[in-house]
Amino acid sequence: MNKTSKRPIEVRYRGKGVRKCKICGTSRGIIRKYNLNICRRCFREIGESIGFKKFG
Ligand SMILES: [Zn+2]
């Protein structure tokens, strides 16, 4: 139950407006509706594994 927050956060987004797919890295077709920050293509692949059977 110890929170060790001494390590600096290395991975950080460049800006609020810049969103990239955290899987393939593309910035096109990002789905941030469910706060996933992944693109449509990756969403279709992992969507089923995370509970979304169909999208759209
Ligand atoms: Zn992707």
The CATH number of residue 37's host domain is 4.10.830.10
CA distance 47 to 54: 8
Burial 7-31 (b: 16+ CB within 10 A, else e): eeeeeeeeeeeebbbeeeeeeeebb
Each residue of 8-50: pLDDT tens digit?
655 565 555 678 899 999 998 998 777 888 899 998 888 777 7
**Domain of residue 26, residue span:** 19-56
Report the number of distinct structural domains present in the chain: 1
From the CA of 32, how far away is ligand 1's center (Å)? Answer: 12
From the CA of 23, how far away is ligand 1's center (Å)? Answer: 5
Residue 4 lies in a domain: no
> What pTM value is reported for the model?
0.52
Note the Cα 23 to chain centre separation in Å: 7
